[in-house]
Amino acid sequence: MQVKRFFAADMRQAMKLVRDELGADASIIANRRVAGGVELTAALDYQVPAAPARQANPALEAELRKTQSRIATAHAELTTRVEADSGQNGQLFAPAAAVAAKPLAPRPTLPRSAAASAGAEHSALDAMRFELHGLRELIEVQLGSIAWGQLQTRKPQQANLWRRLQRMGLSADLSRALLERVAKVTEPRQAWRMLLAHLAHAIRTPQVEPLEEGGVIALVGPAGMGKTTTLAKLAARYVLKYGAQNIALVSMDSYRIGAQEQIKTLGRILNVSVTQVDPGQSLTQALAPLVRKRVVLVDTAGLPGSAPELRMQLEALASRGVKAKNYLVLAATSQSQVLKAAYHSYKRCGLSGCILTKLDEATSLGEVLGLAISQHLPVAYLADGPKIPDDLQVPRSHQLVSRAVSLQAPEEPSEDAMADMFADLYQHPSQRVG
């Protein structure tokens, strides 16, 4: 039997090291927290007690039984200690009358040994919680690997569709929802066509182009997403079609170096008025002289989500007196976590939709389309190049899906990647997989 220890920052990375080094047949026989991460002890050719023949995976069943027992024991200890602590704390909140009835006694001093014991107990509880968390992650990883293996064996067509959706960059939750729609379709090509049709149907686009609707249109989002360039494209698009008399530009970006000069230059080129809103100035007052303009485009500052200035900016845009239609500008080149963080930071102002930029630089559209679908954000415009205003398009959902398919990764996702994805799905046991 070959036994080896592995160190990593978290359980998932440690499991990957085990698989890479010892293969999928390795058994995890111990795990513990160490400085900087976790330590796993794994063994190859680990002998476990024989199990009945009807069990699909004896090694896993044995590990799960041991883990279940440890979790039950740890949970019982935690419950007992919490109840004891709550009983002691309850004495602190006794009725006032009862306290008054008792004679005052000198307050006992906690011995140093008792304080040290309490600290040690707290450390032990922390270690126990960490171990339980590690065991849970370990079980999720193992179950994800097994679920993916069973899907490939029992439903190879579904497994192939899972791979194709992962190549497009779609999230596991969205992939599962789409696959449930075509679960009963047996012909592979028909299933794929229907799946893409459902994906296109899930992408919302506005019935009327925002510029045609008019009003105050504000572009919001983090720095680097392409807000100012997109605003220039929108302004030029409108001026070329209707002239410069009924459009105005407003800038709330007084933080970025050169931002004011950039939008002023745009205003001079298009012969459009530009209004600068300084920090602390009322946006409602700044917009009052522009009430007769058919379209007012507002450029905003790309600020960190924790910045107090961002909160003030979003509150101004959400004001009833402004009546702004706020569009979140998202670069298709951004990672999924960046897109999600942008949405959660800027949703406070009330979003009418999103504008997707940098499509010409993107290697995948699944991430940005997934966010738009999951958060029910209509896709108002597409920006797919630097030319003003040529590289600005009104989207069509089926065209977006076709483009996402054309950008799918050329290589199949690895077995580890698919197993990890199924492990994530196991965090929601109420939802079906496959």
| 60 and 195 fall within a common domain | no
| 187 and 292 fall within a common domain | no
Of 130, 150, 170, at which residue does a domain stop?
150
* pLDDT score, position 69: 60
Most confident of 34-38, 94-98, 264-268, 308-312: 264-268
Total count of domains within the chain: 3
Name the least confident of 29-33, 47-51, 253-257, 270-274.
47-51
Residue 114 lies in a domain: no
* More confident site: 21 or 214: 214
Domain ranges, residue 184: 155-203+412-424
Strand order in the sheet with 215-220: 273-276, 247-251, 295-299, 215-220, 324-331, 351-357, 379-383, 392-393
Q: How many residues does the chain have?
A: 434
* More confident site: 17 or 114: 17
For tokens 């791979």, what's the residue? 163
Residue 223 lies in a domain: yes
Question: CA distances (Å), 152 to each of 23, 155, 432, in order?
Answer: 19, 6, 16
Across the chain, how many H-helices and E-strands are there?
16, 11
Q: Are 254 and 260 in contact (CB under 8 A)?
A: yes
First to last CA, the chain: 36
Q: Are 353 and 345 in contact (CB under 8 A)?
A: no
| 370 and 229 fall within a common domain | yes
* More confident site: 145 or 204: 204
Residue 258 lies in a domain: yes
Residue 98 lies in a domain: no
Residue 35 lies in a domain: yes
| 188 and 230 fall within a common domain | no
* pLDDT score, position 303: 83
* pLDDT score, position 59: 56
| 345 and 272 fall within a common domain | yes
Biggest distance spanned by C-alpha atoms of the chain: 89
| 356 and 388 fall within a common domain | yes
Residue 231 lies in a domain: yes
| 72 and 136 fall within a common domain | yes
* pLDDT score, position 21: 80
Residue 432 lies in a domain: no
Most confident of 122-136, 219-233, 268-282, 416-430: 219-233
